[in-house]
A = this chain, B = another copy of it.
Amino acid sequence: MDETLKPFFAPKGVAVLGASHHPEKLGYGLARNLLMSDYQGAIRYVNPKGGELFGQTIYRNIEETPGPVDLAVLLVPAEAVAESLEACGRAGIRAAILASGGFSEVGAAGALLEEECKAVAAKWGIRMVGPNCIGILDTHLPLDTTFLPPPGPPPGSVAFISHSGAICAAVIDWARGQGFGLSRLVSLGNQADVTETDVLGPVAEDRHTRVVTMYLEGVSDGRKFVSAARAVAKEKPVIALKVGRYESGQRAVASHTGALAGSEKAFNAAFRRAGVIRAETSEEMFDWARALAWCPLPNGRRVAVLTNAGGPGVTAADALESHKLSLAELSDETKARLREGLPPAASVQNPVDMLASASPQHYADCLRVLLADEAVDAVMVILPPPPMATAAGVANAMVPIIQTAKKPVIIALMGERLIQEAVERLRAAHIVEYRFPERAASALAVLADRAESVGRCDEDDLRRTDVDPEAVRKVLGQSLPTEQGFLGEGDTLAILEAYGLPGLRLLKATTAEEAARAAEETGYPVAMKIDSPDLPHKSDVGGVALNLANADAVIAEYAALMARVKTARPDAEIQGVTVQRMAPAGQEVILGAVHDAQFGALVMFGSGGIEVEGLGDVAFALAPLTETDCEHLLAATWAGRKLAGFRSLAAADRAAVKDALVRLGQLAADFPEIVEVEINPLRVLGEGAVAVDVRVRILQ
């Protein structure tokens, strides 16, 4: 852990600046929580008014407060925070939680106050959490620097890092009702200094923390976040709820790749690379967190369902399928052993339906049999209030089996009042239960996903050595991009070639006769396209003529094409045409790379032509790519899947596409000044692939 952050997580002594003996003030709540949390270090109260609180002196200022104090929690009016911080600096304190509000979140005047604080902090080398935050809480140390109304969260193994303070309060309260505890909680507020990326490692280091959950409104530095999260996710699962989608996707951009990227796609790519699990809702995040904290990971995706009723079994099977889990094929031995104890009408096929007469003993015996089957990776037990027994009786019978199992077992405990005792029994034993099979299936899927992703944490970036960055640098140095930053087609092809990306030779011509000569040179049939910096979408303006078979056709079409373009866009600057041999027939895909403001180079892959935008058949990954990224780009898109061939469609060179993706990602990662590259289409042949049309835009 960064030494400067230590006082936040293991302070020797904590001073509360703004402690109050008025119970309705937050400064009272904070002092009370700190005391009640059973924190074992020194606790000091500070308030210019002095007095006494909980039998202890309230010191008039921090400088005269006796040590040891290495963490200050400030709950003084916004205007007084900078001054208090200054006093902390003089008192030798180098860590402060700014719980006060009234800073940049309230507008320009507040932002000025925040800048003052930053200046003071910089001067003294003080690390700050906040302002406008709830504080930090550790149930095991223990430590509670929040001012929230009690009770605090029960101790547990789920850590929570949040950009929103209001959500912390709700989560603490809700966790208690849902029967799981928190290990550490960090409310980050305005992040004037310490960010979500800074605290991720320190929070996860805690031995009581088994899962880290995060409520994110963004990240402060994309690449740093990815590398910090990746390091943590190797050891412990990280689940993030990233909000703010509705604000995104409104950037004005000049290419498909740019238009389709948007920050949400970048976040998804970043989370995938980092091994962070993205939750869609708050409930999902904590449902999953409980399962990850309390269950062993499964070896695969085959689930056995144990039920005492058919209906919920069917619901479970549906839910498993929709989460890409499968119903385990039980072995004959398993079926025979199940049959032994059950009535003849019971079903020993998966879902195993023991019928309504199932006793606690039936549940326990069958669960044991299912767990012993090698074809079973995990078990979902369905328990509606049993007509002939109590749910608590069933729970009691299963607890010892589940606690010693090496495979995850999740219970769908259906009902409310009749199952309360069972709920409490299971929660106390750290066994995961939900009210419905659907949520149980979702949690089992996350366990399986996590098991698969753990193995990929150490995966290296793919990098080709036969690339020539020097050549690219030279081209970029000499290039004369258009106003929008697009390179000419010659420079574009040179850059591609330097990175081993196969392009078609492209000749320029400014008269019909030159075009015909160029066509003779490349060989027929040719494609002739308008050459204009103002017309990135050539076909929209009639600027493309294909399959010209001889010089006569080229000459005739030259005039026609010019006429069409001039009619469509009389204002466009026309530099002539380009002539290119027609690529052989093949599958067409789009490859792109874009420089995302948060996460840097991002590679796109998908269906070429108009389908890319109309159909949205695209996927993104952070560059440079890993093997898993490449496979993801191909597997997540129809464009990628059909490379393997489909019905009458012949297979195309999948390996060539992967190679092109790797090289494009490497190019984009090596040259941040290339803000967009787009190969649309890449024509994928039976063997090899050709970039038919390429555009490169660079930073101006």
Q: Identify the A interface with B (CB < 8 A).
A: 26, 101-102, 105-107, 110, 147-149, 151, 162-167, 169-170, 173-178, 215, 217, 241, 243-247, 280-283, 308-312, 314-315, 317-322, 327, 344-345, 356, 384-385, 387, 414-419, 435-436, 438-439, 537, 539-540, 610-611, 613-615, 617, 638, 641-642, 646-649
Identify the interface centre among A176, A246, A322, A649: most chain B CB within 10 Å of its CB: A246
Please measure, in the bound complex, the distance between the C-alpha atom of A283 and the C-alpha atom of B320, giving whole angstroms: 16
Instruction: Point out the residue from B177, B345, B385, B435 that lies within 8 Å of A149, measured CB to CB.
Output: B385
When distances are taken between beta carbons in the complex, the residues of chain B under 8 Å from A241 are: 315
Q: List 21 A-B contacts (CB under 8 A).
A: A148-B385, A148-B387, A149-B387, A165-B311, A166-B310, A167-B309, A170-B312, A170-B384, A170-B414, A173-B385, A173-B414, A178-B416, A247-B314, A282-B436, A537-B647, A539-B648, A540-B648, A610-B642, A610-B647, A614-B641, A615-B617
How far does the alpha carbon of A247 sit from the alpha carbon of B310 in the complex, in Å? 14
Q: State the CA gap A149–B315 with chains docked (Å).
A: 24
A638 to B315, CA, bound (A): 31
Query: Do A314 and B647 form a contact, CB below 8 Å, given A387-B169, A419-B173, A642-B610?
Result: no
**In the complex, are the beta carbons of A322 and B245 less than 8 A apart?**
yes
In the assembled complex, the CB of A23 is this many whole angstroms from the nearest CB of chain B, namely 13
Asked if residues A246 and B317 are in contact (CB atoms below 8 Å), the reply is yes
Q: Contact at B438–A345, with CB atoms within 8 Å? A: no
A416–B283 Cα gap in the complex (Å)? 13
Bound-state Cα–Cα, A107 to B345, Å: 7
Given contacts A170-B415, A244-B318, A417-B176, contact A438 B311 (CB under 8 A): no
Q: Are B311 and A384 in contact (CB under 8 A)?
A: no
- Contact between B311 and A416, CB atoms less than 8 A apart: no
**Which residues does chain B contribute within 8 Å of A384, judged by CB atoms?**
166-167, 169-170
Most B CB within 10 A of own CB, among A106, A166, A243, A320: A166
Interchain nearest-CB distance for A510 vs B (Å): 25
User: What is the bound-complex CA distance between A217 and B105, given in angstroms?
Assistant: 52
Contacts of A320 in B (CB 8 A): 246
> Judging by beta carbons under 8 Å apart, are A162 and B436 in contact?
no
Q: Are B164 and A436 in contact (CB under 8 A)?
A: no
The answer to whether A164 and B310 touch (CB under 8 A), given A176-B417, A356-B101, A385-B169, is yes
A31 to B164, CA, bound (A): 55
State A385–B311 Cα separation when bound (angstroms): 38
Partner of A415, one of B173, B314, B385, B646: B173
Assuming the contacts A322-B245, A647-B613, asked whether A438 and B166 have C-beta atoms less than 8 A apart, the reply is no
CA distance A415 to B173 in the complex (A): 5
Instruction: Tell whether, in the assembled complex, residue B417 and residue A309 are in contact, meaning their CB atoms are under 8 Å apart.
Output: no
Residues of B within 8 A of A611 (CB): 638
Contacts of A614 in B (CB 8 A): 638, 641-642, 646-647
Instruction: Give A637's nearest chain B residue, CB to CB.
Output: B615
Residue picked from A106, A148, A178, most chain B C-beta under 10 Å: A106
Complex Cα–Cα for A178 and B417 (A): 10
A105 touches B345 (CB 8 A): yes
Please state if B166 and A311 are interface contacts (CB–CB under 8 Å): yes
Task: Please determine whether A282 and B176 come into contact, CB atoms closer than 8 angstroms.
Answer: no
A418 to B638, CA, bound (A): 49
Collect the chain B residues with CB atoms within 8 Å of residue A106's CB: 344-345
- The listed residue (B110, B169, B314) touching A217 by CB distance below 8 A is B314
- With a cutoff of 8 Å between Cβ atoms, the chain B residues found around residue A176 in the complex are 416-417
Once the chains bind, are B165 and A345 in contact (CB under 8 Å)? no
